[in-house]
Amino acid sequence: MRPTWAEINLDSLKSNFLQVKRIIGNRVGVISIVKADAYGHGAVSVSKALIESGSDMLGVATVEEALELRESSIRAPIVLLGGIQPEEAESAIKNDLTPSIFSLASAQAINKYAEKSGKAVRYHLKVDTGMNRLGVDSGEICDFLNHISDLKNLEMEGVFTHFANADGESRDYTLNQISVFRALLSLINQSGFYPRYVHSANSAAIQRFYESHMNLVRPGIMLYGSGGIKGCELRPVMILKTKIIQIKRIPSGASVSYGGTFVATRPTIIATLPIGYADGYMRRLSNRARVSVRGTTAPVIGTVCMDLAMIDVTEVPGVEIGDEVVVFGDERVSVEDVARWADTIPYEILSTVGKRVRRVYV
């Protein structure tokens, strides 16, 4: 019943998916990335909408994320992009999940349980071409392939890599990663593996590096309406809203919230909002952000609290208790604006919107 909620526009989500398809064409498939609760948008509802739109697969980070989808009767192929721990092999196989493999220990655990179950398990091999995070290094690929070639219950369905700087000003690093990836693909083929799927392109690369499309792409942030590059018309999917629950007047010289970080320089009208850092509205936004109310914007003043935030509505005509306030997602305050004020990126702003903020699908 708390008057703070996130409106998720599924038509906008579908429109963004169609923008991806417009760029890549019909010959390239899509793994829609729905990890981190679909970047805070609600993985189950978002996944169903994306499958309806034509997504070939879904991508998540963890087994738990995949199981939430399976328990909601989503049967589409799900790729575990973050790999699995050996003890998760049984759960992954029982629920028909597609693990990514970059660890020999995980590969052996999957093969062992697959053999016991009488199954062949499809997997995607992850190779590292310069992200230096997860993946088999280029110098170790031949030895790794020699080891997994002995694991007869594993089937290499795909191979992929991840770009470190596809949205950067310089194209050189990404072009080098693409070159390294193609060389690794050649070695993989020479070792007797011919994966059906090859993928490397994230949202930025989909738009900037057509040579990276291969035969699958992995859109993430662009599905949710952010990260668009000139010529790609994306729609915001989440509008984070709340309502004013109290209005008060303070004199010049009075301070607001913890630590008195805001001191009024004039008689000021303050509106209190039921949203705070426990909802994902970061403390870093204190005295920096703005919100949208009654057709204009108002500044956030004082320290953002766990459950509450205050705004200066002195210049907002006719403001009343119960007025709707857009925290981000309309034409006046975007998620990119909030990310800039918080010295972060839209990914973090969206994915940290808390569980107690109810999602309303429209």
Tokens (6 digits) for 316: 């907002």
Is the sign of the CA dihedral 186, 189, 194, 195 positive or negative? negative
| In contact, 239 and 326? CB cutoff 8 Å | yes
φ and ψ at residue 302, rounded to 5 degrees:
75, 175
Whole-number Å distance between alpha carbons of 139 and 150: 20
Query: Quick one: which of 204, 207, 201, 145 has its CA closest to 178?
Result: 201
- Amino acid letter for position 325: V
| Residues 228, 97: Cα–Cα separation, whole Å | 31
Query: What is the three-class DSSP state of 85?
Result: coil
Of the candidates 94, 210, 258, 355, the residue annotated as catalytic is 258
With contact defined as beta carbons under 8 Å apart, do 227 and 203 qualify?
Answer: yes
The vertex-20 CA angle with 45 and 98, nearest 5°, equals: 60
Cα dist. 189→111, 145, 156, 185, 195 in Å? 21, 10, 11, 6, 8
Interatomic CA distance for residues 313 and 293, integer angstroms? 9
The catalytic position among 35, 126, 241, 243 is 35
Residue 35: active-site member: yes
The dihedral through the CA atoms of 90, 94, 95, 97 has a sign that is: positive
End-to-end CA distance of the chain: 18
Q: What angle do CA 89, 95, 99 make, to 5 degrees?
A: 50
Of 123, 84, 79, 121, give the one whose Cα is nearest residue 105. 84
Active-site amino acid positions: 35, 258
